[in-house]
Amino acid sequence: MKLQNKSLKYLSISILIIISIWAPLFYYIIKDEIHDSLDKGLTNQKILVIQQKLLDTTTAEILEIQGNYFIKEVDESSALAMTDHFKDTTIYPPGSKHAVSMRMLTTAFQAGEHYYELKVFSSTLEEDDLIAELFWATIWLYIVLIVSIIAINNLALKRLWHPFYQLLDHFKAFSIEKNETLPDVKTQTTEFSELKKAADEMTRHARAVFNSQKQFTENAAHELQTPLAVLTNKLELLLEKGELDDLTATQLSESLGIVHHLKQLNKSLLLLSKIENKQFIENQQVELAPLCHEVLNNLEPFASFKAIQMDLQQPASPTIHMNKILAHILISNLIKNAIFHNKEGGKVFIELNQHQFSVSNTALNGELNASNLFKRFYKGDASHKSTGLGLSIVKAICDTYGFAVQYNYAQGRHHFIINFNNSAI
């Protein structure tokens, strides 16, 4: 969720909670004020009715209904027990089938030798109207506030956060391989200025570390290549001498194999370092089908040596935007892995379609440990003389281009599947 939408979400929820609390409180405050006003009116009306009754010398022996008050004669004890009492009630007016909400004051008074109960009424229809009006006013207030917040988000806050989004775009376009600094961001906001300074310092440090690591890797690889090449030549010269006994020749041959392994290991580590440091920056549209056929032709002698059958299923020939060298390495490493970790007379199945590239092969020793499979120097078969970096290189290439690589084991076969992301196709 975008920052702008997230702030809108939090503000909307906060305002809804505030209004939900405020509206009932406001309602009860207004209701209390209305009741106070009605009660004062009822008290004044009570005084007027009593004064009028005191002037009337006739004795009322039955219930009197005069407009908005009732008068009924009661005994002395009942009258003396009464106090002024206000309450909400409903009354059916004469000739009406619908009850009307009223505020009622009940009291008692003495006129001459007689005692009377007086009930004075006042309509509360205005209160009901107030509730409805308050409800709709609250709804409209919330709508107006949300619309106002959206407008502020789209105008004021968007303008306020503009330097941040500028800096974010610069970060997305930043490439550590290019000797470029982040463009300036014009802002008068202290926090954004400090963020820009921190970003500049971070990119300078990252580039310095990257260049140092890159130089060290290249120097280390170069310095190792020369002595390894010299050592290989000397061992080969010693092996060419005919006066060596069998034991010495065997030991020299084993030493030469170790040197070849070191050369391959050095080459693989250098390649892995370059991939992880994103030094393969020249990307292009690469058609994978011709690369597959080229790799299969190159590896055919190795497969024939182990009597391995290779089956290519190619329903489609996808074109992927990536570095061509890395595309070749990706396909080659997976197919080589399927050949070298296969049994005599086994099979390799290769499938290439618009969305994925998969390689499967008959298994030697059952399922592999999927959690360690793509780690450096992991070998499913410890006796195998591989570097243990082939699948690590595959994983590094997939991570570079956002491909998903997965392993599963089914029906006695290892399956390696690469799913291309939509942006790369």
Q: What is the CATH number of the domain that holds 138?
A: 3.30.450
Q: What total number of domains does the chain contain?
A: 3
The answer to whether residues 250 and 339 belong to one domain is no
> Does some domain include residue 186?
no
pTM of the prediction? Answer: 0.51
Does residue 40 share a domain with residue 128?
Answer: yes
CA nearest to 379, candidates 265, 283, 226, 289: 265
Q: Are residues 289 and 210 in the same domain?
A: no
- Residue that finishes a domain, picked among 102, 134, 154: 154
Percent of the chain at pLDDT exceeding 90: 5
Residue-level pLDDT at 378? 64
pLDDT band at 359 (very low <50, low <70, confident <90, very high): very high
Are both 295 and 347 inside the same structural domain? Answer: yes
Q: Range with the lowest mean pLDDT among 147-151, 269-273, 417-421?
A: 269-273
- 291 lies in which domain range? 282-419
Q: Which of 234, 251, 275 is the last residue of a domain?
A: 275
β-bridge pairing 100-111 and 309-313 = unpaired
Examine the fold and report which residue of 242, 275, 308 is the final residue of a domain before the chain moves on.
275
Q: Same structural domain for residues 320 and 252?
A: no
* In a domain? residue 143: yes
Claim to verify: residue 100 and residue 222 sit in the same structural domain: no
**Is residue 98 domain-shared with residue 113, that is, in the same domain?**
yes
Res 61 pLDDT > 50: no
Q: Does residue 303 carry a pLDDT above 60? A: yes
Mean pLDDT of 112-136: 79
3-state secondary structure of 147: helix
303 lies in the same domain as 389: yes
Question: Alpha-carbon distance 273 to 386, whole Å?
Answer: 18
Sign, CA dihedral 165-170-172-173, equals positive
150 and 109 inside one domain = yes
Question: Is residue 165 assigned to a domain?
Answer: no
Residue 159: inside a domain, yes or no?
no
222: CATH: 1.10.287
DSSP track, 251-293: HHHHHHHHHHHHHHHHHHHHHHHHHHTT-----EEEEHHHHHH
User: Which tops the pLDDT comparison, 222 or 411?
Assistant: 411
The answer to the question of residue 182 being in a domain is no
CA atoms in the 13 A half-sphere facing the CB of 193: 5
d(CA 192, CA 187): 7
Residues 264 and 292 in one domain: no
Domain contains 318: yes
What ranges make up the beta strands (E) of 92-175? Answer: 100-111, 114-123
Task: Answer yes or no: do 267 and 311 share one domain.
Answer: no
User: 340 and 252 share a domain?
Assistant: no
